[in-house]
A and B are shown apart, each in its own frame.
Chain A
Amino acid sequence: MSALLSMRGLLVPALLLLGAEVLVNAADLSSNNIAPPSAAFAALLRIMLDGTLFVSTGQTLLATAMGLAVGGSLGLVAGILLGLSRTASRLMTVSLEFFRPVPAVALIPISMLVFGFGYAMEVAVVAFAAFWPMLIYCKGAIEAVEPQLLEVAQMLRLSYFDTVRKIVLPAALPRIFVALRTATGIALILGVTTEILSNPQGLGFAVMSAQQSLHPDNMIANIFWLGVLGVVVNSGLLWLQSRLFGNAGRPGGGR
């Protein structure tokens, strides 16, 4: 974070913004399609002050969190079970490899049939999108548990249940958290995508409707805000990760 916010790090974005400002003004591009940064910032201030930005932010975050909760927890459980049982993992490989490459956006039409337009559909798509990274990474987290620790469990003759509870899960937890971070990023992307395509709410819809009602300044302001939101969510999770796990939070850095 500190590197990102350092003066030198801000130089390039500042120059790009300045360039855009000059270019848009000089070329006198049609204001129906594009807006200079200054207008976008004015629009950002406007939608902040009238509160619409925060309403749509809340809608996007809530739908994403719901989807993440549903799909993420299903993926967590499935990933842990598959990581624990080699037999289950072998039985499921073909089915998983068939479904996994299906992009979550491709499910939007199906979800629309099942859930109609709106909230439930967005949650379903986000859940599907969050399920896969959670499953794959959690399975990997379990499989990556230090074999020596499993031998300690064997030496102590821990029961299967105690081995999972006292050794495997705590050892896998830092990587499981990384899985959560990855799934959160993907969930946010799919939430906004769904809003752009077919759920009239949230930041995605705000971007879309601003573009369609010929308010490019408003559109750019919302897009910029999405970027800010992504950075805030990810650094929040990174902060939490280092608080919870310290050095052990970095995969491979268990020492």
Chain B
Amino acid sequence: MSQSAVATSQAAPEICFDGVDLSLGGLEILKGIDLEIRRGEFICVIGPSGCGKTTMLRLIAGFHRATAGAVMHEGRAVNGPSPDIAIVFQDYGKALLPWRNAADNVALALEAMRVPKSQRADMITGFLGKVGLADHAQKFPSQMSGGMQQRLQIARALAQNPSVLLMDEPFGALDAMTRQTLQDECLNLVENMGTTVFFVTHDIEEAIYLGDRVVTLSPNPGRIADIHTVNLPRPRNQLTTREDPEFLRLRRVLFDFIQGH
């Protein structure tokens, strides 16, 4: 990459909220949101239920238009959904096509990206392999556990070859063991691919464990209360990271924040 290309790519943040207000149905949902997300950064958002986390994610996704201010993606205003910004929806049961098996669900993204038919099979095998579903290509979503369905959603998202991955409480409905496994797999994947991640969760520990920074939202209307930088070494480790004094300090701070609401 040339010197100037590096300079411009560093100049524009991957995602930028610039004084964003959002009203829906006459109701003020988000107010005065300013946030810059660097390329390859893992941002976690926490806050009490109904404070506007999902709404913020949907603004980046292009499903909402800011009432005031602007949401920018790589320096350009977001003006609608695009495969370059992939979403892993909260409710996997409603986001996968039940009449397509795992391989064909991933194929949907490749079809949309106009990947030639001859190349699809290998790519599908690759993406399913990345999320540990290589042996389940022929299974239908109804034949898969919640964790497997969420893996499949991630595989489809990866097949979009996105620069930004939006995840809305993706592991919230899973049991603790599955959740930890998926957290680690998710970190590995996005690190290898250099993807920028906007991750909504209601789990304080999950936010610290995954994130480079943790954004806290206050409700009514939703606004950014604080942004905490997570000074924990990578790769993260389920045992040592969670015992790190910095982890415990942040957990305390965020816990107090949540308690305050």
Contact = CB atoms under 8 A, between A and B. Distances in A.
Contacts of B81: 151, 154-155, 157
Contacts of A246: 142
A149 B83 CA distance: 14
A170 B94 CA distance: 14
A255 interface: yes
Interface string A214-255: 000000000000000000000000000000001110000011
A95 interface: no
Interface string A143-184: 000101101101111100010001100110100000000000
B108 interface: yes
Interface residues of B, number: 24
Interface of A is mostly: helix
Contacts of A173: 99
A255 B82 contact: no
A201 B85 CA distance: 64
Contact of B112 (A148, A158, A247): A158
A167 B96 CA distance: 10
Contact of B83 (A157, A170, A171, A247): A157
Interface residues of A, number: 21
Given A148-B94, A247-B142, A248-B142, A170 B86 contact: no
Contacts of A148: 89, 91, 94-95
Nearest to B63: A151
A155 B82 contact: yes
Contacts of A146: 94
B133 interface: no
A167 B86 contact: no
B36 interface: no
A170 B97 contact: yes
A148 B168 CA distance: 13
Contacts of B112: 156-158, 162
A156 B91 CA distance: 18
Contacts, number: 57
Contacts of B86: 155
B109 interface: yes
A173 B98 CA distance: 12
> Which of B63, B81, B85, B111 neighbours the largest number of chain A CB atoms within 10 Å of its CB?
B81
Contacts of A255: 93, 98, 142
Contact of A149 (B61, B82, B94): B94
B87 interface: yes
A170 B87 CA distance: 22
Nearest to B90: A148
A254 B142 CA distance: 8
B58 to A, nearest CB: 9
A122 to B, nearest CB: 37
Given A148-B89, A155-B81, A254 B63 contact: no
Contacts of A158: 112
Contacts of A151: 63, 81, 87, 89
Interface in B65-92: 80-83, 85-87, 89, 91
Contacts of B83: 155-157
A149 B142 contact: no
B63 A149 contact: no
9 contacts: A148-B94, A152-B89, A155-B83, A156-B109, A156-B160, A157-B82, A162-B111, A173-B99, A255-B142
Interface of B: 61, 63, 80-83, 85-87, 89, 91, 93-95, 97-99, 108-109, 111-113, 142, 160
Interface of A: 146, 148-149, 151-152, 154-158, 162, 166-167, 170-171, 173, 246-248, 254-255
Lowest 5 A-B CB distances belong to which pairs?
A156-B112, A148-B94, A154-B81, A155-B81, A170-B99
